[in-house]
Structure 1
Amino acid sequence: MIDVDGYRPNVGIVLLNGDGRLFWARRVSRDGWQFPQGGMRSDETPLEAMYRELQEETGLAPQHVEVLASTRGWLRYRLPSRYVRRHQRPTCIGQKQVWFLLRLVGGEQALRLDAGEKPEFDLWRWVDFWYPARHVVSFKRGVYERALRHFAPVVESLLSVQLGNLPPEPARDGGGDCAAA
């Protein structure tokens, strides 16, 4: 399902543990790490799609999590031109996403990366709150930053911690990154 502007509706999942750390997973057979995310079906609400993707990618069911917040409206990113499949119609130029902040309410033993027919991740770990915004693939970085900024006050209030602002961009070594769209 691609909208008239060329964006695929999608959901993203930020999973928080009791220590305020976030679930971070490595894509199968790739070096890229990311949050769970996935496309919406035409007959699903964002919440329904989130629960389906959560189960497929992490093995977690609704009783394992508490929904703490979601973004309002869509957060969009464009794909780099090398990933756009121009021979397909309609052409998908990027993703538009509703993000959900979830808290793990059970133990980690419920996490199963092999729960879906075709696993998307092969490793996972807990990371500091702002870590994903600096370590996700560059074209998703802007969306990650916006989602985490939106969720930071919720996490600070819940855990009575001060996360601070998004850390400054690290110095670059001259290698170019794609700008986040």
Structure 2
Amino acid sequence: MQNKKSYRPNVAAIILSSKYPDKCEFFVAHRSDIKNAWQFPQGGIDKGETPYEALHRELLEEIGCNDVEVLGEFPEWITYDFPKVARGKVYPFDGQTQKYFLVRLKEDAVIDLQAYDIPEFEEYEFVAYEHLFKKVTYFKRRVYRRVIDYFIEEGLI
């Protein structure tokens, strides 16, 4: 008998700097709990919460700022499995099913990684597309490329 996999509903934010469209830079952050793991902000969707509401709550919790303009939403949910070494260590799930949003920081937005008691991230950078996939953790690269390429094809980036 095969066990059915369980996936955590989740939102993820591809954040463009406030300099966009003059300069296209992507926000990536280094997780405080996993060495060398750089990623986009993301987090679970609470019961009764819409993905859009979860996006704004998670941004506030993870980067201390939800002062963003939503530019687009990926039309599908993307499901991925955690690497075997990580399964069951953080969450009792096999992976996540995610709704991706493309957002742009507003001009006067201020990022504060220390906004909450237990920071999700310890540092962040804005990187160009050509450096992004060298920076982010290996198992998220395929998904990130798919979503960003969609937003490029749609003329949103």
What residue number does 1:46 align with? 51
Long gaps (5+) in structure 2: none
CA radius of gyration, larger in? 1
Displacement of 1:5 in angstroms is 4.1
Identical residues among aligned pairs (%): 37
Q: Is the 8 A contact 2:72 2:156 kept in 1?
A: no
- Determine which structure has the larger helix proportion and give its number: 1
Query: Secondary structure in 1 aligned to 2:129?
Result: coil
What residue number does 2:9 align with? 9
What residue number does 1:177 align with? none
* CA distance, structure 1, for counterparts of residue 130 and residue 99 of structure 2: 19
Q: Which amino acid aligns with 2:28?
A: W
What residue number does 2:137 align with? 137
Q: With CA pairs under 8 Å and 6+ residues apart, which has the higher RCO, 1 or 2?
A: 2
Question: What are the Cα deviations for residues 129-175 of structure 1, in whole angstroms up to 9, with x where unaligned?
Answer: 2433343222212211111111224344xxxxxxxxxxxxxxxxxxx
| Aligned residue runs from structure 1 range 62-73, under 5 A | 64-73=67-76
What residue number does 1:124 align with? 124
Displacement of 1:13 in angstroms is 0.6
Question: What are the Cα deviations for residues 68-107 of structure 1, in whole angstroms up to 9, with x where unaligned?
Answer: 0011121111112222229x8xx51111100111011123
Picking from 34, 40, 51, the partner of 1:35 is 40
What residue number does 2:151 align with? 151
* CA distance, structure 2, for counterparts of residue 42 and residue 73 of structure 1: 20
TM-score w.r.t. the length of structure 2 is 0.84
Runs in 1 of length 4+ with deviation above 3 angstroms?
153-156
What residue number does 1:95 align with? 96
* CA distance, structure 2, for counterparts of residue 147 and residue 134 of structure 1: 16
Query: Secondary structure in 1 aligned to 2:146?
Result: helix
Displacement of 1:117 in angstroms is 2.7
* CA distance, structure 1, for counterparts of residue 24 and residue 147 of structure 2: 16
Report how many residues are paired: 147
- Determine which structure has the larger strand proportion and give its number: 2
Q: Which amino acid aligns with 2:98?
A: Q
| Correspondence 1:78 to 2:81 | yes
Q: Which amino acid aligns with 1:82?
A: V
Long gaps (5+) in structure 1: 157-181
